[in-house]
């Protein structure tokens, strides 16, 4: 991976305060502060041991990723929501929802829902509450993100089982943040993320967020999962960031 323009910060989510020595931490407010979408109420228990690790890049383009994005309490509640949604997937999930296309070809094979449409009130969803955390950290110290000042997002929950993929495409967002989740131990191969125009591939990691400009082409390699391991595939929480 290209690491030019690299900067890194370890951020303890229980202690995100302005004025610390880290240039990134200075940009980060407490995780329960930002309410960019009316009705949101982030938080839900912050483990004192939880540390997010933020890696930001300015070359060959601006993007950043966050390891260990959610804390244990948040993950437990998110997984309970994913289990419920998966258990009712035939009624809830839609195939290839609003997929990118190229010359009439649908570029992905997965299922999902737009969470903001699914819930009448976003407070009913752990995922839609906890993913407010992105607004506390996205102003990383790169020219694109530092003053981006997006003030709304839409959340697409996607699930990739055996054979799932997403071919190279652009998003209609100003920026997109994808958070990856899967059950451990991992039972599939593939599902890696790429920026093919820049020959950058990022191996799939659990509880990992990557954020990039929507006009940077990106893709997901095919997931290969044994049929008996159905339900152990690749989840992605995509937040499409925009200005109102």
Contact between 40 and 128 (Cβ < 8 Å):
yes
Give the count of residues interacting with Fe ion (CB under 5 A): 1
Stretch that binds Fe ion, among 10-18, 37-45, 168-176, 204-212 (CB under 5 A): 168-176
Q: Is residue 109 involved in binding Fe ion (CB under 5 A)?
A: no
Of 130, 125, 103, 101, nearest in space to 114 by CA: 125
State the Cα angle at 182 between 167 and 111, rounded to 5°: 45
Q: Is residue 136 involved in binding Fe ion (CB under 5 A)?
A: no
Output the smallest distance, CB 111 to Fe ion, in A.
15
Compare residues 161 and 171 and give the one whose CB is closer to Fe ion.
Answer: 171
Output the smallest distance, CB 61 to Fe ion, in A.
15
Output the smallest distance, CB 177 to Fe ion, in A.
11
Compare residues 127 and 211 and give the one whose CB is closer to Fe ion.
Answer: 211
Compare residues 12 and 107 and give the one whose CB is closer to Fe ion.
Answer: 107
C-alpha distances in Å from residue 121, one per residue of 34, 35, 218: 18, 14, 31
CA 96 to chain centre: 18
Distance CA 173, CA 160 (A): 22
Q: Is residue 171 involved in binding Fe ion (CB under 5 A)?
A: yes
Q: Which residues bind Fe ion (CB under 5 A)?
A: 171
């Amino acid at each position: 991976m290209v690491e030019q323009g690299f900067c890194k910060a370890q951020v303890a989510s229980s202690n995100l305060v302005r004025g610390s020595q880290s240039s990134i931490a200075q940009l980060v407010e407490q995780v329960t502060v930002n309410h960019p979408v009316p009705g949101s109420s982030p938080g839900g228990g912050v483990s004192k041991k939880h540390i997010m690790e933020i890696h930001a890049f300015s070359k060959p383009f601006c993007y950043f990723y966050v390891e260990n994005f959610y804390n244990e309490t948040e993950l437990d509640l998110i997984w309970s929501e994913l289990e419920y949604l998966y258990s009712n997937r035939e009624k809830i999930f839609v195939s290839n929802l609003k997929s990118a296309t190229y010359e009439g070809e649908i570029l992905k094979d997965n299922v999902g829902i737009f969470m903001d449409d699914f819930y009448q009130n976003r407070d009913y969803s752990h995922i839609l509450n906890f993913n407010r955390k992105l607004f506390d950290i996205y102003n990383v110290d790169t020219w694109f993100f530092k003053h981006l000042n997006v003030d709304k997002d839409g959340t697409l929950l996607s699930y990739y089982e055996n054979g799932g993929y997403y071919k190279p495409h652009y998003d209609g967002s100003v920026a997109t943040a994808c958070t990856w989740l899967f059950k451990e131990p991992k039972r599939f191969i593939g599902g890696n993320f790429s920026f093919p125009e820049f020959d950058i591939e990022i191996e799939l990691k659990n509880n990992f967020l990557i954020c990039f400009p929507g006009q940077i082409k990106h893709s997901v390699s095919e997931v290969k999962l044994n049929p008996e391991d159905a339900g152990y595939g690749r989840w992605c929480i995509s937040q499409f960031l925009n200005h109102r």
